[in-house]
Structure 1
Amino acid sequence: MVDASALASRARNIGRGFAVTAAAGAAAGLATAGYGLWEKNQFVVREESLPIMPPGFGTFRILHLSDIHFVPGQHRKAQWLSSLAELEPDLVVNTGDNLSHAKAVDPLLKALAPLLEFPGVFVPGSNDYYAPTLKNPASYLVGPSKAQKEPVELDWPRLRAYFGMSGWVDLTNRAQSLVLNRLRFDFSGVDDPHLGLERYAGWPRGTKGRDADPHLRVAVIHAPYQRVLDHFTEDGADLLLAGHTHGGQICIPGYGALVSNCDLPTWRAKGLHDWESGGHSTPVNVSGGIGTSRFAPVRIACRPEAVLLTLTPRA
């Protein structure tokens, strides 16, 4: 005969076990979320060195900024951005996604004011044009994020104009040469490939037939889709600079990024790597980014970063 009291006791024990497991899971989830909120403000400068300067020229330092995703009230981020001027770079490269809020332009410009004193170039990302929206984070696991059906426009024209008036060069589907520290830099940039807006302008006119003169070709991109990396690698770029991926944003320690939000392999979602295409090889630096969408304000095992890239002479 079945002992009813024993069955009841067993049921209570099983129930308590489920409750303990659920409570432990909830606690772990809260701890992870709390850590992610903390890590998103642990700003770092990743330093890299690359021997691509022509012989006879000294070192050249590029400060690479990307994916700031500024929101009003982000005082710690603003202070850190301003402090980057203390690095005294020779050039600032901004690879887009500066905004994450309709009222972010003025506080962002205030934060960037010290850096706007240095030479710079820039291209836009999708979150310069349009405000982010609330999404299911799991959707990124099945492929890159999709264009919004009814996007909220941001004041990119004013931000773009201010960058230009401050002396930063707009490389949105354009090319331009700059002489910096006595060396000719040939820049070519594209509009955001994530929105399918890229159009290739080639290298600056007036440099054709002048390859014997010392120069460096630098391509500037927001989203590092393979088609764009292939194009610039095959077209003779000496360096590719991109952002967009947030380094994966939520990574697994010891493994790395789960997503890149484009067709770039996840192991390339952050860092300095060589890209090969058509028999050519070009170094590409993918920034892990500085911010997050304001609807997903966490980072895990992926600290926000600016990149200080020191170019040294070739051997």
Structure 2
Amino acid sequence: MSQQTFSLVVILSTLIDFFVIAAVFFRTRWLGERRDSPVIGMGHVLSAVLITGLVFVIKLTPLTLLGFNLFGVINLIYIDLVILPPATAMTILGASYLPLREGRRVTVSKSARIFAAGAFALLPIGLYASWIEPFRLQLETAQVPLAPTRQGKTTIRIGVIADLQTSRITDYERSAFDRLMALRPDLILMPGDLFQGSEKDLEANRADLIALLSQLSAPGGVYFVLGDVDQGHYGLEEILQAAGIRLLVNETTRIKLGDRQVTIGGIELDVSTGQARGTVHQLETDPGVDDVRILVAHRPDVALGLKRRSRIDLTVAGHTHGGQIVIPGFGPPMTLSDVPRPVAAGGLHSLLENRLYVSRGVGCERGQAPRIRFFCPPEISLLQLDNSHPK
């Protein structure tokens, strides 16, 4: 389904829901009611909510046949929650000014007016979640303790920038890269999901992507692993190479930073393949205790398969976007990951007594998904590894 078709269907679906609500409030029998003042009460409001919900469920089958995926359905729900309640509130409050036959007017109950006032609050919340928070880029920092057996005294400063998931390069992406480079990291890790668009879109943005990625440089290098939206982009490897970024696909590399030896391993998207598991096994079992070992993967689920107290000092991942929506006291309702919800929400965690850092990412899910972040701002990250604390 093209984006234009998707947008048209979303508009039509929302209009249907609005007309259902309007039909509940402005029943034709009102015109013939003998009461001097017909009343809109909470009964009408609850009826509108229930009937609209039923209509929405009925719409799911034809929408799925048209090509809507899970994110498309979430988009419809989000629009209904942000647009329809304020529209319903205006309908309720405006009804009291609607002239009926013989000079009668509609009366709106106190409870319905209270509902209407509360419903208006959803509009600014929706505007904030779609137009402000997705661009409130935060810098997150974390101290990662290394085992005393790791040789060296140099503090390793790792810059992490994940999940740009952009379809075109804008000032927002450039600003994110500028802010990361201002931190002067020793090495930079990119856990995938760089560009979300067609192969044609990628080619059209090729020059801008190379220019953007070329901003990244670090003494220890810049390393990238493939994410979900990077699959099938056959020109992406050439773009990364032109920008001086190394793509790691089931392989390891060793670098020196100060007086430390660092081994970096990067794996493909599917962490269950023999090649991916082999790379992880190599990091876990290669002899030696001196070098710092870092695993880079798109999905944090790779950490679920590590040995308890693995030889790997740090795993860095993205993918979850922190859930994009976080409910205070509960966390993200959906993360598309099997790691515990607090871990998928982002930050540095201990999982099976291993260190795992999950980035909330820079961008948002695109395609049919709504652009939304709520209590889950985008981030770039600076991780500092040293022996100042025991592992």
Q: Which of the five TM-score ranges fits, normalised by the shorter chain?
A: 0.7 to 0.9
The count of corresponding residues between Structure 1 and Structure 2 is 280
Please give the alpha-carbon distance, in whole angstroms, between the structure 1 residues aligned to 2:275 and 2:333.
26
Confirm or deny: 8 A CA contact 1:43 1:304 kept in the other structure.
yes
Please give the alpha-carbon distance, in whole angstroms, between the structure 2 residues aligned to 1:284 and 1:189.
14
User: What aligned pairs does 1:286-305 form with structure 2 within 5 A after superposition?
Assistant: 286-294=358-366, 295-305=369-379
Confirm or deny: 8 A CA contact 1:251 1:300 kept in the other structure.
yes
**Larger relative contact order (C-alpha < 8 A, sep ≥ 6)?**
1
User: What aligned pairs does 1:18-33 form with structure 2 within 5 A after superposition?
Assistant: 18=112, 21=115, 24-25=118-119, 27-33=120-126
1:215-265: per-residue Cα shift (whole Å, max 9, x none)? 01111110112xx21333455211110100101101123432122111122
Cα distance change of structure 1 residues 28 and 105 upon mapping to structure 2, 3 Å threshold: farther
Cα distance change of structure 1 residues 249 and 105 upon mapping to structure 2, 3 Å threshold: farther
Confirm or deny: 8 A CA contact 2:184 2:218 kept in the other structure.
no
Confirm or deny: 8 A CA contact 1:177 1:185 kept in the other structure.
yes
Please give the alpha-carbon distance, in whole angstroms, between the structure 1 residues aligned to 2:272 and 2:135.
28
Q: Does residue 240 of the first structure (1) align with residue 270 of the second (2)?
A: no
For normalisation by structure 2, the TM-score amounts to: 0.63
1:220 pairs with one of 296, 302, 305:
296
* Map of 1:99 onto structure 2: 195
Q: Does residue 128 of the first structure (1) align with residue 230 of the second (2)?
A: yes
Cα distance change of structure 1 residues 169 and 203 upon mapping to structure 2, 3 Å threshold: farther
Cα distance change of structure 1 residues 10 and 229 upon mapping to structure 2, 3 Å threshold: closer
1:152-199: per-residue Cα shift (whole Å, max 9, x none)? x5x3x3332332454433221222222232322222222113897972
* Map of 1:284 onto structure 2: 356
* Map of 1:187 onto structure 2: 264
RMSD: 3.1
Q: Does residue 275 of the first structure (1) align with residue 351 of the second (2)?
A: yes
Please give the alpha-carbon distance, in whole angstroms, between the structure 2 residues aligned to 1:193 and 1:217.
21
Please give the alpha-carbon distance, in whole angstroms, between the structure 2 residues aligned to 1:232 and 1:115.
30
* Map of 1:134 onto structure 2: none
Cα distance change of structure 1 residues 251 and 167 upon mapping to structure 2, 3 Å threshold: same
Greater per-residue strand proportion: 1
Cα distance change of structure 1 residues 289 and 209 upon mapping to structure 2, 3 Å threshold: closer
Confirm or deny: 8 A CA contact 1:82 1:111 kept in the other structure.
no
What amino acid does structure 1 have at the position aligned with 2:276? R
SS in 2 for 1:200: helix
Q: Does residue 82 of the first structure (1) align with residue 175 of the second (2)?
A: no
For normalisation by structure 1, the TM-score amounts to: 0.77
Shift of 1:282: 1.0
* Map of 2:247 onto structure 1: 170
1:261-309: per-residue Cα shift (whole Å, max 9, x none)? 1112211121100010xxxx21100001110023422211111001100
* Map of 1:109 onto structure 2: 210
Confirm or deny: 8 A CA contact 2:326 2:332 kept in the other structure.
yes
Shift of 1:126: 0.7
SS in 2 for 1:255: coil
Greater Cα radius of gyration, structure 1 or 2: 2
* Map of 1:70 onto structure 2: 166
Cα distance change of structure 1 residues 4 and 65 upon mapping to structure 2, 3 Å threshold: same
SS in 2 for 1:5: coil
* Map of 2:85 onto structure 1: none
SS in 2 for 1:310: strand
What amino acid does structure 2 have at the position aligned with 1:79? S
Q: Does residue 8 of the first structure (1) align with residue 38 of the second (2)?
A: yes
